Amino acid sequence: MRTQVAIIGAGPAGLLLSHLLHLNGIESVVLESRSRADIEATIRAGVLEQGSMDILNEAGVGERMQREGALHHGIELAFGGRRHRIDLTGLTGKAITVYPQHEVIIDLVAARIKAGGALLFETSKVELSGIDGSSPRVTFEHDGQARSIEADFVIGADGFHGVSRPMIPETQRQDYQRIYPFGWFGILVESPPSSDELIYARHERGFALVSTRSPTVQRLYLQCDPRDSVDNWSDDRIWSELHARTESDDGWKLKEGRIFQKGIIGMRSFVCAPMRSGRLFLAGDAAHIVPPTGAKGMNLAISDVKLLANALDGFYRRGSEEGLDSYSSDALKRVWRAEFFSWWMTRLLHTFEEASPFERQVQLAELENIVASRALSTALAENYVGAF
Ligand code: RFL
Ligand code: PHB
């Protein structure tokens, strides 16, 4: 098989890139190791920046997101028994949309299939070769058969644990990493929303986040030990921690409901630079990871592939390699700012076991400063909505 662009991974990055290329008349094949049902049911991110929504709308895949997504004009910071609103729209003119990542995946898969796009699920043994030449090759197994694709370019959009990044020799790349000593315990709950806006809560017992999925399903997170087991957390224990960490002097109370999914995720910050080697380009989580506190991961995946789609368009339309040559440095500028913000929000809101009493007080003082200062609130809001 031959194609112009071989894409490994059908996450937001790979699927959206394939669709953007298609809109520019560029052919691609997407290889995904999991099944369609599996990728369409995996619960991950929830928050889309305005810029991500614009890209999805322009690509013609935003219709359901506009109808079913919830526009949020603010977030709340909770600490010391009080809640403080950060007026995102008042401070930046922009808003965010809460629309689950797996719904974005469902919309993108539908759009690719409707357009006759080549999307191969349940592929295995994916290997890349020849990325230094002009005709790289991807070999894999599909439906029990060995297959191979020759392409002009290969895109590694296969997430943090994919096969693409290790293809860039260690001598050619630098990895930057920070692993946090805590994780998030995430649950899905059948209940109406407890709050109109997301609540980021800092508490001595640890961080908690009140998010939402729909008018009937809520998404809640608790800081926990990343090595802990879900089995150690009964529903009663989860609710009692969540109530303790989100308690508010004004009488506001979290609504309980049936918990129907539980999971623990680790937290890391990671960047691989450059995001290119020869004819292999990395996009999304394959190249960088942020802790979820800043809600940036899916948004970075979307902005990477928008840049990459433009660069590939320049190559095929005008024979220009300029966009391809600047892709990595252009993408990394935004990536590092999001890395900063996600690290900063994480540090601001989580309990660090090793923190001294002094450091804990300073953390609270920083929160007090943010909510008291329009300038500091604006800086947080600009980063959160992706105003730059
Ligand atoms: P993905 O989504 O991991 O997709 C990669 C795909 O590649 C496939 N794959 C392979 N396919 C073929 N061959 C191989 N060898 C392969 N190896 C892997 C995988 O099966 C998968 O389908 O990467 P992508 O596209 O770069 O997208 C990144 C986002 O998924 C990620 O950044 C976000 O989910 C992060 N994130 C959040 N981002 C936001 O923007 N806003 C949020 O509110 C937000 N909340 C979150 C999050 C991530 C979370 N978790 C679970 C880590 C909340 C959580 C809890
Ligand atoms: C989510 O709803 O899953 C979510 C929201 C905000 C975050 C992280 C995750 O910062």
pLDDT digits (tens, 9 = 90+) for 272-312: 999 999 999 999 999 999 999 999 999 999 999 999 999 99
**Nearest bound ligand to the CA of residue 294:** 2
Average pLDDT over residues 44-54: 93
Instruction: Please choose from 30, 101, 222 the residue to mutate so as to test ligand 1's pocket, defined by most ligand atoms within 8 A of CB.
Output: 101
Structural domains of the chain in order of their starting residue, each with its CATH number: 5-46+100-173+274-345 (3.50.50.60), 181-266+353-385 (3.30.9.10)
**Active site positions, annotated:** 72, 200, 292, 296, 384
Task: Kindly report, residue by residue over 202-247, the tens digit of the pLDDT.
Answer: 999 999 999 999 999 999 999 999 999 999 999 999 999 999 999 9
Which whole-number Å values give the CA distances from 37 to 15, 120, 137, 348, in the listed order? Answer: 15, 13, 28, 37
> Residue 175's closest CA among 70, 317, 270, 36?
270
CB of 142 shorter than 6 A to ligand 1: no
The pTM assigned to this predicted structure is 0.96
What stretches of the chain show up as alpha helix (H) in DSSP? 12-23, 36-39, 50-58, 63-68, 88-92, 101-114, 235-246, 297-318, 322-349, 357-372, 374-385
Report residue 45's pLDDT band, with 50, 70 and 90 as the boundaries. Answer: confident
Cα(243) to centroid(ligand 2), Å: 18
Please check the confidence at residue 33 and state whether its pLDDT lies above 90.
yes
Please check the confidence at residue 387 and state whether its pLDDT lies above 90.
no
Atom of ligand 2 nearest to the CA of 345: 10
Supply the residue whose CA is at minimum distance from atom 2 of ligand 1: 11
Cα(281) to centroid(ligand 1), Å: 17
CB of 386 shorter than 6 A to ligand 1: no
Task: Kindly report, residue by residue over 148-199, the tens digit of the pLDDT.
Answer: 999 999 999 999 999 999 999 999 999 999 999 999 999 999 999 999 999 9
Instruction: Please choose from 39, 121, 275, 298 the residue to mutate so as to test ligand 1's pocket, defined by most ligand atoms within 8 A of CB.
Output: 298
CB of 297 shorter than 6 A to ligand 2: no
Task: Kindly report, residue by residue over 132-146, the tens digit of the pLDDT.
Answer: 988 999 999 999 999
CB of 381 shorter than 6 A to ligand 1: no
pLDDT above 90: percentage of residues in the chain = 97
Helix pair angle (297-318, 322-349), 10° resolution: 170
Angle, alpha carbons 352-354-356 (nearest 5°):
95
Atom of ligand 2 nearest to the CA of 219: 2
Task: Kindly report, residue by residue over 60-116, the tens digit of the pLDDT.
Answer: 999 999 999 999 999 999 999 999 999 999 999 999 999 999 999 999 999 999 999
pLDDT of residue 286: 98
pLDDT of residue 388: 72
> Residue 336's closest CA among 283, 282, 272?
272
